[in-house]
Structures are given as structure tokens and as C-alpha cells.
Amino acid sequence: MLGPQGAPRLLLPPPLLLLLLLLPGSEAAAGKKTVVQKEADFDKPYTDAVNGELLNIYAFNHTVTRNATEGVRVSVNVLSELKETPVLFVVRQKEAVVSFQVPLILRGLYQRKYLYQDVSRTLCQPQTKSEVEMQFFYVDVSTLSVSNASYQLQVTRVDNFVLRTNEHFTFNATAAQPQYFKYEFPEGVDFVIVKVTSAMAFPCSVISIQDILCPVYDLDNNVAFIGMYQTMTKKAAITVQKKDFPSHSFYVVVVVKTEDQACGGPLHYYPFTKDEPVDQGNRQKTLDVVVSPAVTSQAYVSGMLFCLGVFLSFYVLTVLIACWENWRQQKKKKQLGLLAAIETPSTETDNGSTASTENVTDSLLSTEASYSYTDRSLENMAGRPRLDSLSSVEEDDYDTLADIDSDKNVIRTKQYLYVADLARKDKRVLRKKYQIYFWNIATIAVFYALPVIQLVITYQTVVNVTGNQDICYYNFLCAHPLGNLSAFNNILSNMGYILLGLLFLLIILQREINYNRALMRNDLQAVECGIPKHFGLFYAMGTALMMEGLLSACYHVCPNYTNFQFDTSFMYMIAGLCMLKLYQKRHPDINASAYSAYACLAIVIFFSVVGVVFGKGNTAFWIVFSVIHILSTLLLSTQLYYMGRWKLDSGIPRRILHVLYTDCIRQCSGPMYVDRMVLLVMGNVINWSL
């Protein structure tokens, strides 16, 4: 402002006086400070200069209405190359103060320094309670440079500062020229999704959702201080809930990072001189933002009911099939009873002696047939002894057999085997053996699931408190939050594993009850037909399926690089148990014990985790893994080929050389078990090729 004779008038308001007193320098220099205040207009560029003895103040005013928000942007460019003595810009508003220096210095990884000469900042707009209010703000420009520092200043109004629903807006941003916009929730909309896209992957940028508060954190070094944020290359999406913002509005902040390392990009070279600024070139990014309504509460309820209905329909179908099967069995029994009643002679003839003779003859024939069938049954039972029985079974209860009919080394090394040859053990022994599978996996599930649940709760809490959505790897375009869960739909999708696993267990329980009832009434088909039925593996498979659903849901609470093994562990469990069950169907007596089976699965899981952590680009690891893999498949193939009738000891090399010498060198003879050899060779070739 000019004085009466046109000379600049010195204005020293208390805040500015305090600022001058805090500036370093002598008291004489502080006393000679010249302050020039100028009335300034929007959209008009001001080119001026300041030095250590001159401070410029630009006064702006604009009209603010309660129902309309106007964005104001300050753009500055320092024309002088003064890295040691930058120019300080301070924007004083009614409820906020924004300050920044030019050249603007931003720090990257390993404290790398990046300088920016062209800086633009959007001012935070305070709320007003009046219908119309005139607001003032001031831009102070100062420096400690002895020589003049030239700069250019321009203040403009921001078009499209308030985003509209379903309307796209395209803009440019750099690390020193961040952008942010305001969005207000319409009536009846509780969830919106903010989508930001770009045609270029780099430079890396950050999308932040912040409450309507001043100041707005819109620089790379402070954007993570408040609100929700995530890095992006070409696409980003953040779902925002209305209940999280008391003013029912929020800021969409877009910041371009100084480095691309956070988005998986390369790092710049180290500067040769310590603390030397790194040249970045042109790191401008063109982005497009649109805010659209997300799914409604009714859609949440409909989706949950639909999923629940789909899986409950399997329960209904199972009940209907069980009822139909029960009705069919009852009908069959009635038909058999009616047929027996029709075939029974019900009329009495006059020749009583003849009828009596016929009845006696029928009775004798029936008795003879019964005895002959009993003899055959006893012969069959004697021909199929149950070995390895419990200690409670007395040896007098069965006849001893010759070794050729009972020795496993004789039976299992026959050239042609049948299922009956591999189903000779006592069913009570096998039942307890297979029941261990269920109890072991139940114990594993409890000890495995409790820490997992605690960990994912901690992950979700950290995400909610810090707002850092980069902790979890979601498909944010399809993630729908509910309550404190960031992606409820991903968790809901695992409900099928649990419900169908429970249905599987119920079906197995019903089958076991029916089988035990048949054994109690000495049903011939249950006692003598087929291989002995053991349900321990089935229970273990059902439990593993339910745990797969639970742990997959835990993984999807916050999926990331450190916890993806939560559900894959039980995938290995399910695959291993299924293979064991298939093998047990044809080899009931040779199946592995629960302890060795779970130990092998634990080794597989261990190597899968080690491969993920250390296997990327590590040739030595893959060499060691390949050797272990080939040796393991060879040992398993040998176990299957000889039906478990071989020993791994110090004499194995000598026996291998002996077989090679006798079967390959002295005479060219084929393998004894050709069919097994062909299948095992095919399996090993497939395994090694993968």
C-alpha cells in the first residue's frame, strides 16, 4: 500500500514483527527490513524480486458463499538459481497458514534430495456460516539472499474444485504441484467409490482421502499423516463410507511421488556428491478422477442372502435325497415281505400227511442250505485272516494259517495282486489307525487358526488406524467394506467352504451310523462284502475343507505377501488326504500312518514357504530343491512299487547294484510288476518335468 506521496508505507503487524525477529541476522539488519504490501488480483501474474532487506506481501480477497465452495490455487516459480538461499512463501488465511520454500526440497529413499523450481499449492477453504462472506488472505514472500531473487506469482480460481457424481475430470499433477478436490455426499448415498485412472504407469502417485480440515496434507513427505491413502500406477480405487466423515464431505488428494520404488519401479542412481540433488526430468502425470455410488445396504443384504441360499440349497437337496432313499428302502422291504407271504403255502389240503411231508422236506432243505452257507462263510472268513489284531483278541478265536497265506512278505510280493490280498488286517486296528487322522488335523487346526485370527485382526486394525491401504493387496475396484472389514465380500465368498465342509461331515456321520447299525445286526453285506469301511480319513477331509474356508477368509481380511500361506497350507492338506484316501480304497492295509503323512505334508509346506521367500532368482536354492525333489519321488516310487516291503538302510546301495547286475547285465529281464512300473515311470516323468 502506498503512502500520501506515493512512497511505500511500512506495515508491521504483530505476526510479521515476530517473524522478522526470528529471522537470523544482526539487529541492524532486522531494523532495515522493508515490507511492501500490494493489493493483488486473481489470474494476474506478478513478476517481482526480494532480497534480505525486502519483503513483499500480496493481499487477495474473494467472496465465499455457504452453499458453494471455491478452490484457490497459488502458483510460484523462482527465476533465480539460488539453491543456498531459497525464497519463502507464506500464505496466511483465516483459519490456516501454508508455507513452502522454492526451490522446494523433497526427500526420497535413503534421504535423496529432489529440488523443484515450479511449485503450485491449492489453498484449504475454511467453512463459513454466513450466506455471503468476504474473506482475505495474504501471500508473504521473503528471502535471506543478499542479491535479488526474482520470482513469478499467480493466484487462480480452480475450476471443477467440487467433484460431481459420475462425472469425469482430467487434470495434471507433479510432485511439487499436487492437486486435491472436494466431494459432497448426495442425499441417500452412504457409500461411494473414488476411481482414479491414468494412461501411464509411472511416475508413481498416491491417492488420499482426507476429511475437510486445514491444513491439507498434499506433499509426498506428509500425505500419509492423515486419512486413507494408497499408491497407484494406472488405476486406483478407494471406497468411502459416509459415516466416517461428520461433514458428509471429503477431499480427494492426488500426489505424485518423487520416486517410483513404492510402485515397483526402478530407483535412480546415487549422486556422486553427498547431498547433491537428483535430476528427475519431467515427472508430470495426467490423471482422471470420477466418484460414483457404491453398492447400497440393500445390495449387501441381498448378496448375503443369495450366497446363503445357494449353499443351503445343497442341504435341502441332501435331505430330499436321503428321504427318497429311505422311502425306496422301505418300499423294497415291503415288497420283499409281500413276496415272501405270497410264496408261503397258506392253504391246507385234505391230505394232511402229504402236506406234513412237504413241510418237513422244505424244512430239511432249508436247514441244509443254511448249514452249507454257514460253512462257506466260515471258509471265507478262514481264508481271509485279519492280521495285526488288537491285544484284546484271543488267539483261540481263529485258526492259525500257514505263512504263505499270512506273511506280508509273501502276499504283497506276488506278481498279480488283488484287493483281497491287501485287506487282511483286523478292521478294529485300522479303524483306530484312521481315526488318528481326524484328531491330528483337529489339533493342528486349533493351534494353527488361533494365531492366524489374532494376526489378521491386528492387520485390519493397523489398516483402519493408519489408513495405509498398501498393507493389504485388494482388488480395490471390487472390494466392498462392511464395518471394520475393508473387503467383506472377499470374506463372504469363503462361506461355501465352511458350509459344504460341514455338510460333508454330516453325510459321513450318517454313513458311519448306518454302517455301525448294520454291523450290530450282523448284516452280511456290511460284514463280509467289500473292504472294511473306515471314516477317519473322511472326517479329516471334511475338517480340512472347513479350515480351508476359515483360513481363506482370514487371508482375505488383509491379503499380502506375508500371510498368503494361511490357506494354501490346508490346500496341501486336502490334496494329500484325497490322495491317501484314493490309495486306501485299493490298498487298505498299506496306508501311511497319520504321523508320517502329516510330517510329509509339513515338509512340503515348509519348502513351499522357503521357495517363496528365498527362491526368487536364487539358483542355488532351486538346485538343492531339485535334488531333494528327485530323491523324494524315487523313494516314494520304490515304496509303491514294492508295496512297502523294502528297507532303507546302509545295505541299499549294495542291493541296487546286485539287482542291476543280475537283471540288466547278466540277463536282460523286465520288471516283475510291469503295470506298476509303467505308471510310476509316467508319474516321475510328469513330476520332474514340472
Pair (560, 647) in one structural domain: no
pLDDT at 171 over 70: yes
Could you tell me if residue 302 is inside a domain?
Answer: no
pLDDT by residue (tens digit) across 436-495? 888 888 998 899 889 888 888 888 888 888 888 888 887 788 888 887 888 888 888 888
Best CA proximity match to 278, nearest among 286, 265, 290, 267: 267
Range of the structural domain that residue 130 is part of: 1-156
Name the pTM for this structure. Answer: 0.68
pLDDT by residue (tens digit) across 83-103? 778 888 888 888 788 888 888
Give me the residue label for grid cell 476429511: 211
Pair (200, 142) in one structural domain: no
Residue 63, number of CB atoms within 10 A of its CB: 10
Pair (571, 628) in one structural domain: no
Give the residue from 569, 584, 612 where a domain finishes.
612
Could you tell me if residue 114 is inside a domain?
Answer: yes
Pair (198, 134) in one structural domain: no
Could you tell me if residue 450 is inside a domain?
Answer: yes
Q: Which amino acid is at 682?
A: M
Could you tell me if residue 375 is inside a domain?
Answer: no
Distance (Å, whole) CA 319 – CA 259: 61
> How many independent structural domains does the chain possess?
4
pLDDT-derived band at 402, boundaries 50, 70, 90: very low
Pair (13, 121) in one structural domain: yes
Distance (Å, whole) CA 541 – CA 673: 32
Pair (170, 25) in one structural domain: no
Could you tell me if residue 514 is inside a domain?
Answer: yes
Pair (470, 519) in one structural domain: yes
Could you tell me if residue 497 is inside a domain?
Answer: yes
Give me the residue label for grid cell 475430470: 169
Give the residue from 95, 130, 156 where a domain finishes.
156
The DSSP bridge partners found for residue 532 are: none
* Portion of the chain with pLDDT greater than 90, in percent: 2
Pair type for strands 118-123 and 113-116 = unpaired
Give the residue from 294, 329, 354 where a domain finishes.
294
Pair (623, 605) in one structural domain: no
> 437-473: buried (b, 16+ CB within 10 Å) or exposed (e) per residue?
bbebbeebbeebbeebbebbeebbeebeeebebbbbe
> 31-50: buried (b, 16+ CB within 10 Å) or exposed (e) per residue?
eebebbbeebeeeeebebbb
Could you tell me if residue 181 is inside a domain?
Answer: yes
The CATH number assigned to the domain holding 13 equals 2.60.120.380
pLDDT by residue (tens digit) across 506-539? 988 888 888 878 777 777 766 666 667 778 888 9
Contact (Cβ atoms closer than 8 angstroms) between residue 569 and residue 551: yes
Mean pLDDT, range 330-350, rounded to an integer: 66
Radius of gyration of the chain (CA): 41
Pair (511, 596) in one structural domain: yes
pLDDT by residue (tens digit) across 657-681? 666 666 665 566 666 666 666 667 7
pLDDT at 283 over 50: yes
Pair (509, 600) in one structural domain: yes
Pair (433, 445) in one structural domain: yes
Sign of CA dihedral 79, 80, 84, 88: negative
Could you tell me if residue 363 is inside a domain?
Answer: no
List strands edge to edge, sheet with 87-92. 34-39, 54-65, 132-143, 87-92, 97-102
Pair (605, 661) in one structural domain: no
Residue 171, number of CB atoms within 10 A of its CB: 15
